[in-house]
Amino acid sequence: LGLPTPATLSVPDLCCGNNSESPLFQCVLTGRWINDLGSNMTIGALNGKGEFSGSYHTAVTATSNKILLSPLHGSQHHTNQQSQPTFGFTVNWKFSESVTVFTGQCFVDEYGKEILKTMWLLRSRVNSIKDDWKATMVGMNVFTRLQSQE
């Protein structure tokens, strides 16, 4: 009688990729994120201490090397679901001798969309202490949650 059957429900009907309808899960970092450069990261389940692991696929590199998926490890503060927690994580790049640390805070905007505002330090390896002064870059990235496909 015109009611949708399960077969006619679209994927977005079945999921809640931005967590806007699941405030209990908002700002739990687990999931897939994309930033303003087009880089993607996937964060796994948080353990009881708020610690997590994941993987990072950067869209850009300061090197001429071929970009490879790289591991990340971090933690987020344990607070209640509405409290817009701070977090930090480290990416150990598998295609360069560099490390990036990100620190930031998860915000929920007026539409219920999660936004990660971060700053980062990218440390490159240099051959000599004389070159230490030019070994660190700093910047900002904004991440939003990628829509879940299942």
- What is the binding site for ligand BTN (CB under 6 A)? 35, 37, 39, 58, 60-63, 93, 96, 98, 100, 120, 122, 139, 141
Nearer to ligand BTN, 22 or 55 (CB): 55
Nearer to ligand BTN, 15 or 142 (CB): 142
- The nearest distance, CB 100 to ligand BTN, in angstroms, is 4
Smallest separation (angstroms) from ligand BTN to the CB of 121: 9
- For ligand BTN, give the closer residue by CB, 9 or 135: 135
CA atoms within 13 A on the CB side of 56: 26
Q: Rounded to whole angstroms, how far apart are CA atoms 40 and 1?
A: 43
Residues 37, 9: Cα–Cα separation, whole Å: 33
Q: Please report how close the Cβ of residue 119 comes to ligand BTN at its closest, in angstroms.
A: 10
Distance from C-alpha of 19 to C-alpha of 9, rounded to nearest angstrom: 19
> What are the φ/ψ torsions at residue 13 (nearest 5 degrees)?
-65, -25
| Cβ proximity to ligand BTN, 5 vs 64, nearer residue | 64
Would you say how long the chain is, in residues?
A: 150
E-strand ranges in 16-85 read 31-35, 40-43, 51-57, 70-76
Q: How far is the CB of 118 from ligand BTN (least distance, A)?
A: 9
